[in-house]
A and B are shown apart, each in its own frame.
Chain A
Amino acid sequence: MALDIENPIEGSFQIIGGNFDNAGEASSQLKNRLLELNVNDDIIRRATIATFEAEMNVIIYAAAGRLNFVITPTQIQIRIEDMGPGIENIEQAMTEGYSTAPEWVRAMGWGAGMGLPNMKKNSDVFKIDSVIGEGTTIEMTLNLT
């Protein structure tokens, strides 16, 4: 069902690398916006899983990053850009179970090699672009109709 909104709703969050304590805060706020708009529970779940995994990747691997979202009557568009090391082999990184996370990250319950697969699985359109030494940009779209 299309949302009854006149103008697109936009939001933006800064994500700081290494800050595990606030991990998920951007996704939690996006969840509240979507709840207010009466978006279907399953779509909220998929959108916030995708953004939470994206947030985690910035926190684990990058110095900093930014998450932007736009909610239109028919879509949720999410874009995450980071200042990280970049991904050498995207195909390999997309493989379930493949992870380069260090042991201390695994000890905190992350780095199981399911982050990118989780993002792809939960979005209708998934695009990833990465430049070594510069960073990674991920764009995800979820259809509301």
Chain B
Amino acid sequence: MTLGEIIDILDATVITDSVDLSINIRSGCSADMMSTVMYYHTADSLLITGLSQPSVIRTAEIAGIKTIVFVLDKIPDENIIELARQKNIPLLRTSFCMYTASGRLFQAGLPSCLGK
């Protein structure tokens, strides 16, 4: 699924400017606990989370997460947006909660990230 399609499905706003809408996202991972993101195979995934602090961006960098979407319209601080720009990780926000965001993407055909 492309980043452009995901933005449509989640009615999302792009927080980091100038993103490549053709980026291919292979799977979805919904989590607030960052160790899980690193435990399960989440490379090339979309991370759906309710947290927006620097360690979320670093987790994404290390786990190979392609894009992060913050639920419930959370807007991260400017230093976090800047860190994501440096790491080249697009950030989105959606007004949906984690349940609805996951549900809409799953229904549209985005698979879950692999177990291990």
Contact = CB atoms under 8 A, between A and B. Distances in A.
Decide whether A and B are members of one complex: yes
A135 B61 CA distance: 29
Nearest to A50: B38
B35 A114 contact: yes
A118 B37 CA distance: 11
Given A52-B38, A114-B36, A23 B43 contact: no
A98 interface: no
B35 A53 contact: yes
A21 B62 contact: no
Interface residues of B, number: 21
A23 B54 contact: yes
A52 B62 CA distance: 8
B33 A112 contact: yes
Interface string B56-75: 10110111100000000000
Given A20-B53, A121-B39, 19 more contacts: A21-B53, A21-B79, A24-B59, A25-B58, A31-B61, A31-B62, A49-B62, A49-B63, A53-B35, A108-B51, A109-B34, A109-B49, A109-B55, A110-B35, A112-B35, A112-B36, A114-B35, A118-B38, A118-B39
Contacts of A92: none
Among B33, B39, B51, B62, the most chain A Cβ lie within 10 Å of the Cβ of B62
A24 B62 CA distance: 9
A52 B36 contact: no
B32 interface: yes
Interface in A88-132: 106, 108-112, 114-115, 117-118, 121
Contacts of A23: 54-55, 58
Contacts of A115: 35
* Chain A, interface SS category: helix
Contacts of B43: 45
B113 to A, nearest CB: 14
Nearest to A24: B58
A42 to B, nearest CB: 9
Contacts of B56: 109
A141 interface: no
Contacts of A56: 55
B55 A108 contact: yes
A14 interface: no
